[in-house]
Copies of this chain bind each other. A is one copy, B any other.
Amino acid sequence: MKLYLNNTPLDEAIEITREVCSKIVLESEIVDTVDALSRITYKAHYAKISSPHFTAAAMDGIATRFEYTLNADTNNPVTLREDMFEVVDTGDPINEPFDCVIMKEDLVEDSDGYVVRKSHVPYQNVRPIGEDIQFGEMIVPKKRKITPLDISSLLASKITKVEVYKNLKVGIIPTGDEIIDSSRDNIPSKGELLDFNSWTFKALVESYGVQGIRYDVVKDNKDDLKAAVMKATEECDMVILNAGSSKGRGDYAGSIIEDCGEKFFHGISIKPGKPASLGIINDTPIFGVPGYPVSAFFVIESLVKEGINSALNNITNIIKKNPKIDAYLSRKVVSSLKNDEYIRVKLGKVDEKVIAIPVGKGAGTTMSLTNADGYFIIPKDVEGLKASSKVNINLLREDFNPDNTLVSIGSHDIAMDIIADYFKDYGLNFSSTHTGSMGGIMALKRGETHIAPSHLLGENGVYNIEYCEKYLGKCVIIKFLKRIQGFIVEKGNPLNIRDFKDLERVNFVNRQKGSGTRMLLDYNIEKFDVNKSRIKGYDREEITHLSVAAQIKGGSADCGLGVLAAANMMGLDFIPVCSEDYDIILNREMLEDCRIKTFLEIITSKDFKERLNKIGGYDLTNAGEVVVLGG
């Protein structure tokens, strides 16, 4: 088998995309002015009437002739009799023969009429015809994005319909025999995959300001696929064909583009995202986008968005751009020389520096994108970046604010997810990355995190203090919770697992090196003289309690070490082994930080304790106690 995709450099692919998409011609449509907010005018529009369209009072008072008031002053009041004026409110017409308005503040009413003590000039306090808008005047030029204030002038000048550019339509075709529509209530069976991609693409292109039209899932049948592509390219300005962009069995995208139109490239040098393609069918640009969600996202961000912008550039210079922020890498990142590599990161501000923490490398993990605050690109020809390198981050969430975010790196517990939820009530974000306990302590030492949740059992049988003293010196421990660790096993414990010795005869799933749970396992393996090499699956690492439980639930493992909450959540059985201290480590200065105060307020609240008790397996007696280390 040979390498079957070419490797067009991203720059070149973008260049081609721009050229192809800039040829998209958008037509116009007529819409009601009242519905035209943010639409872009197709032509200039001119006032159909003047505003005001009659001579009008600019003040509440009386309309009269200025001549009557010529000799009026403080010493010579003039009385206007009934036939010499008309009472008017602001906006009322000024009728012949009147030519000025006297404000009511300048009038005194008496039995004969109104007394005036000021002379007036012609048109005083009067709005002449067309003061605001003159008939025939241009109200908006072409290619103007209509604002609320434009709507005001358009309606005031009786332009009730406007000719605007039609929205750019992007068609999205999900494909694949195994794909089922995720928006319906069908539960997928083994082998079926939910189509969440097409809905995500629709939302993405809509977030870029254009219209997304999602078509139904098409099976891997060349004729059906061809029919769907022909229909979508007729109906839309641009089409995204999802999956089938690589060359597996049933991957027809590339050949359909070749059969029905022209193909410009297939395979670009980005990672993830490589097997992307671009062609043209029915004069409509069509993108082949890979099925893996992370790959798909970066292809859409890097190519499809460029294509949309090129098309829109013909009519507007308002193109949505990602907000950006500079940040410093928390750790070294290696990357391939062959590709532009897209790195997802979480962000947090620690000691006035925004830190970017790389997360999730897998191309199939949607959650790594949902959890990421942004991404940056390592260009090809660069082998990687050192820790602390400055990188320019494309933000993925407009509500990201480093000052409002508490960064947590270290051990994972479900309680931390729940705290993230509580944080939102304070208008704050809680960003938590799971590296295991040691990873958190090292991140704290390097100044990359605010807190490090940790449950490291010292040789003296006390949790955390030994490691804090060794690696951090001066620091603070906030006591959080005691949690029960035990064996997570299938319902009914069919293999009758009771103690660590039993692990020699089962299919085990382990936690990653540096995690507190892994250390707990190793501590007990030694204590109970278990033969590590006989534990099948000792080298198979998962990074959270829940993912360990998920493996057992799915049947790929018989047993793992973890917390009760994870077993409960997956509907599994749990054999308690011991209880351990799960604490929060931080630098002493952070104790005064409002985010830490919020954290303390939450973990000591009745509401929070009740919520954890419902999950079970937790003891919060000492929650919130502060232990100061290092004198």
Q: Are B44 and A421 in contact (CB under 8 A)?
A: yes
Which of A423-431, A447-455, A618-626 forms part of the interface with chain B?
A: A423-431
Contacts of A613 in B (CB 8 A): none
Tell whether A483 is near chain B: CB-to-CB under 8 Å.
Answer: no
Q: Are A156 and B194 in contact (CB under 8 A)?
A: yes
Q: Are B155 and A53 in contact (CB under 8 A)?
A: no
Tell whether A51 is near chain B: CB-to-CB under 8 Å.
Answer: yes
Q: Within A36-62, which residues are at the interface with B (CB < 8 Å)?
A: 37-38, 43-44, 49-55, 58, 60
Contact among B137, B140, B551 for A546, CB-based, below 8 A: B137
Contacts of A191 in B (CB 8 A): 54, 92-93
Tell whether A549 is near chain B: CB-to-CB under 8 Å.
Answer: yes
Contacts of A144 in B (CB 8 A): 399, 424
A54, A92, A203, A401 — most chain B CB neighbours (10 Å)? A203
Complex CA–CA separation, A482 to B608 (angstroms)? 80
Q: Taking the nearest CB of chain B, how far is it from the CB of A418, in angstroms?
A: 8
Q: Are A151 and B553 in contact (CB under 8 A)?
A: no
Contacts of A58 in B (CB 8 A): 364
Knowing A129-B550, A318-B399, A421-B142, the reply to whether A93 touches B160 (Cβ < 8 A) is: no
Contacts of A87 in B (CB 8 A): 249
Tell whether A200 is near chain B: CB-to-CB under 8 Å.
Answer: yes
A145, A206, A246, A554 — most chain B CB neighbours (10 Å)? A554
Complex CA–CA separation, A367 to B46 (angstroms)? 12
Complex CA–CA separation, A49 to B316 (angstroms)? 43
Q: Are B153 and A370 in contact (CB under 8 A)?
A: yes
Q: Taking the nearest CB of chain B, how far is it from the CB of A424, in angstroms?
A: 4
Q: Taking the nearest CB of chain B, how far is it from the CB of A91, in angstroms?
A: 5
Tell whether A141 is near chain B: CB-to-CB under 8 Å.
Answer: yes
Contacts of A127 in B (CB 8 A): 364
Contacts of A367 in B (CB 8 A): 132-133, 137, 139, 153, 156
Q: Are B200 and A185 in contact (CB under 8 A)?
A: no
Q: Are B145 and A203 in contact (CB under 8 A)?
A: no
Number of interface residues of A (CB under 8 A): 133
Q: Are A152 and B34 in contact (CB under 8 A)?
A: no
Q: Are A182 and B207 in contact (CB under 8 A)?
A: no
Complex CA–CA separation, A366 to B139 (angstroms)? 10
Tell whether A339 is near chain B: CB-to-CB under 8 Å.
Answer: no
Contact among B135, B139, B152, B404 for A553, CB-based, below 8 A: B135
Knowing A151-B200, A153-B370, A203-B151, the reply to whether A317 touches B404 (Cβ < 8 A) is: yes
Q: Taking the nearest CB of chain B, how far is it from the CB of A4, in angstroms?
A: 9
Complex CA–CA separation, A158 to B317 (angstroms)? 39
Tell whether A248 is near chain B: CB-to-CB under 8 Å.
Answer: yes
Contacts of A576 in B (CB 8 A): none
Tell whether A324 is near chain B: CB-to-CB under 8 Å.
Answer: no
Tell whether A227 is near chain B: CB-to-CB under 8 Å.
Answer: no
Tell whether A616 is near chain B: CB-to-CB under 8 Å.
Answer: no
Contact among B158, B197, B316 for A194, CB-based, below 8 A: B158
Tell whether A250 is near chain B: CB-to-CB under 8 Å.
Answer: yes
Least CB separation from A144: chain B residue: B424
Q: Taking the nearest CB of chain B, how far is it from the CB of A172, in angstroms?
A: 12
Contact among B104, B148, B397 for A200, CB-based, below 8 A: B148
Contact among B150, B207, B420, B550 for A148, CB-based, below 8 A: B207
Q: Besides the contacts A50-B554, A141-B424, A149-B372, what 17 more A-B pairs have beta carbons closer than 8 Å?
A: A34-B202, A44-B417, A49-B187, A53-B188, A91-B291, A99-B556, A129-B550, A135-B569, A138-B418, A145-B397, A147-B207, A148-B201, A149-B297, A151-B196, A160-B185, A316-B399, A317-B404
Q: A-B pairs with the 7 shortest C-beta distances?
A: A130-B550, A129-B554, A155-B196, A136-B569, A148-B203, A143-B424, A134-B546
